[in-house]
Amino acid sequence: MSGTLVLVRHGQSEWNLKNLFTGWKDPDLTELGVREATQAGELLAARGMQFDIAFTSVLRRAQRTCSIILDGVGQSGLETIRDEALNERDYGGLSGLNKDDARERWGEEQVHIWRRSYDTPPPGGESLKDTGARVWPYYIRQILPRAMRGETVLVAAHGNSLRSLVMVLDGLSREAITELNLDTGVPMIYRLNADTTAASKEILHH
């Protein structure tokens, strides 16, 4: 009995809108972000999706997205586990800065490397590799065993914490993952094989 894993990046946050590096900072969703999460719930409800458990980060934008989606599928009381292992990557010294201001200060190329390289962290922050180093063990210990029991698992998290999971599930190279950007509030449905690899992937666009 293979399980199902649904990954959703949180809806637009106030800092996404303002073009700020967010990381571990904790802004809330915008009205658009709430709509994106609501639509994600509607799309999953239309599929008849019912979850056995949900996982999210300790940051409000992901938690709110998670609860809106659960409301949408009629499961507002579902057990939800929050862990900072699923937090967005820590942007360190870039956190709270406008992306254009950062480019002016450090140069387009350097900021692009920090944002997109696999293993070059911004000052005082985490690279995608560093983020994966906390996401993968948590996934293997806490999330994957539930899916391997045949359960349907919701993970509402962040662009980079989810990119590190997608990298493994999709078998992407370090080069390929740097080009991948996840849309806000768009569910990705993975059905898993008995050997934990992905049997299929479906993206539910609004």
Active-site residue set: 10, 88
149's enclosing H/E stretch is none
Strand 53-56 versus strand 80-82 pairing type: parallel
Q: Is the dihedral of CA 33, 36, 42, 45 positive or negative?
A: negative
* CA-to-CA separations, 96 to 15, 17, 25, 88, in angstroms, rounded: 8, 12, 8, 14
Q: Which two tokens stand for residue 146?
A: 């539930």
The closest of 89, 83, 66, 58 to 164, measured between CA atoms, is 89
